[in-house]
Amino acid sequence: MPSTPGTSTGRRRHRVREEALAEILRTGRRLLVEEGPAAVTLRAIAREMNMTAPGLYRYYAAHRDLIQALTSSLYDELAATLAAARDRHPASEPGRQLGAACRELRRWALEHPQEFGLLFAKPLTDADTAPGAAAHDPSWRFGGILLELMVQLWRRGSIQPPTGLDPAWTVQLEEVREHLDGEPVPLEVIYVFVSCWARLYGAVAVEVFGHLDFALTDPGPLFDHTVRDILTTLGEPSPGS
């Protein structure tokens, strides 16, 4: 067991350790960006840090854990980026805030395609993301920002909820609702949120993963149209910048 951090020297050790952890992730990310996901290897990271691969096991129990920590930190960065974009608009205009966050998501994804791929192109990573998915899930820190904005939009907005909601959904939707603060959101509205998230994810992923390359060099206007559509669905009358 490590000594409890608290004394001055103990604290310093702890900080050094955290700096090493940070340098590992920094190096791994650099390899990801410069040479692709296959290059993010224990031996390569150690080499770049003038270490040997087994030494890294003092910080991560396995290669998989290192990658997981990397994705988690990327989710944090993405969440912070989206929050910053959101805060460039007044809280009194959640529509503009959400629009800005959506566009920032696309901008970040295009600027960091490898990172986006690591986060969002995972068919069946493991069963680590159970259907319920705890609020501690790294992706939740990111997704929560969009969800909260949609809630704001609902509070002041004019979302017209769909009718005839499939009863099989209510159980899962209620679980999502529990993660939200404040007054309970109608399940129908949560359904609208999910549908909008699906559309936003698709609009970004189809572009970043190159599935529009065959047709378009600049899908920007197409994305803008999609965002306007989403905002309209959420009751925002006119598009925000």
The answer to whether 187 touches 177, Cβ cutoff 8 Å, is yes
Structure tokens at 90: 């007044």
Task: Tell me how far apart the alpha carbons of residues 85 and 141 are, in angstroms, rounded to a whole number.
Answer: 15
Q: Output 5 or 162, the one with its CB closest to DNA.
A: 5
Closer residue to DNA, CB minimum distance, 13 or 155: 13
In order, the DSSP letters of the chain are -PPPBTBHHHHHHHHHHHHHHHHHHHHHHHHHHHH-GGG--HHHHHHHTT--GGGGGGT-SSHHHHHHHHHHHHHHHHHHHHHHHHHTS-TT-HHHHHHHHHHHHHHHHHH-HHHHHHHH--TT--TTS-SS--TT-HHHHHHHHHHHHHHHHHHHS-----SS--HHHHHHHHHHHHTS-SSPPPHHHHHHHHHHHHHHHHHHHHHHTTTTTTT-S--HHHHHHHHHHHHHHTT-SS---
Of 51-59, 94-102, 182-190, 200-208, the window that binds DNA (rule: CB under 7 A) is: 51-59
Name the binder of 168 from DNA, a copy of itself, none, CB < 5-8 A by kind: a copy of itself
The region of 9-17, 54-62, 95-103, 166-174 touching a copy of itself under the rule CB under 8 A is: 166-174
Q: Which range touches a copy of itself (CB under 8 A), out of 40-48, 50-58, 68-76, 129-137?
A: 129-137
**34 binds a copy of itself per the rule CB under 8 A:** no
Number of residues near a copy of itself (by CB under 8 A): 57
Q: Which does 54 bind (CB under 5 to 8 A by kind): DNA, a copy of itself, none?
A: DNA
Instruction: Decide if residue 59 touches a copy of itself (CB under 8 A).
Output: no
Of the candidate residues 93, 139, 157, 240, the single one contacting a copy of itself (CB under 8 A) = 139
Segment 73 to 102, residues that bind DNA, using CB under 7 A: none
Range in contact with a copy of itself (rule: CB under 8 A) among 40-48, 65-73, 88-96, 194-202:
194-202
Radius of gyration (Cα) for the chain, nearest Å? 21
Is residue 62 at the binding interface for a copy of itself, with CB under 8 A as the rule? no
Residue selected from 20, 206, 239, 240 as contacting a copy of itself according to rule CB under 8 A: 206
Q: Which residues bind a copy of itself (CB under 8 A)?
A: 36, 113-114, 116-117, 120-125, 129-131, 133, 137, 139-140, 143, 162, 166, 168-169, 171-173, 175-176, 190-191, 194-195, 197-199, 201-203, 205-219, 221-222, 225-226
